[in-house]
Amino acid sequence: MSTGFKVVIPARYGSTRLPGKPLLDIAGKPMIVHVCERALEADAEQVVVATDDQRIFAAVSDLGLQAVMTDPNHQSGTERIAEVARIMGWADEQIVVNLQGDEPLIPPAYIRDAALALAGQYQAGIATLAATILDVDEIFNPNAVKVVLDKNGYALYFSRAAIPWNRSTFPDQHDPAVSSLPHLRHIGMYAYTVGFLQRYCSWSASPLESVESLEQLRILWHGERVLVKIVDKTPEAGVDTEEDLVRVSRLLSKD
Please give the pLDDT value at position 1: 54
Please give the pLDDT value at position 72: 87
Residue 15 is which amino acid? S
- Taking residues 190-197, report their average pLDDT: 96
- pLDDT tens column, 88-111: 999 999 999 999 989 999 999 999
ω into 182 cis (within 30 of 0): no
Please give the pLDDT value at position 76: 85
Residue 177 has pLDDT above 70, yes or no: no
Q: What's the CA gap between 84 and 86, in Å, rounded?
A: 5
Answer with the residue of higher pLDDT: 148 or 135.
148
236 band by pLDDT with thresholds 50, 70 and 90: confident
Mention every residue, 6+ apart, whose C-beta is less than 8 A from residue 141. Answer: none
Q: What's the CA gap between 3 and 156, in Å, rounded?
A: 26
Of all residues in the chain, the percent with pLDDT exceeding 90 is 67
Please give the pLDDT value at position 179: 55
Q: What's the CA gap between 175 and 240, in Å, rounded?
A: 31
- Taking residues 224-235, report their average pLDDT: 95
Q: What is the pTM assigned to this prediction?
A: 0.91
For the ranges 12-16, 157-161, 166-170, 233-237, the maximum mean pLDDT occurs at 157-161
Name the pairing type of β-strands 29-30 and 25-26: antiparallel
Count other Cβ atoms within 10 Å, centred on residue 162: 20
DSSP bridge pairs for 129? 187, 229
Return mean pLDDT, the chain.
90
Residue 185 is which amino acid? R
Please give the pLDDT value at position 5: 97
- Residue 207 Rama label (left phi>0; alpha psi -120 to 50; beta): alpha
Report CA 242 to chain centroid distance, whole Å.
21
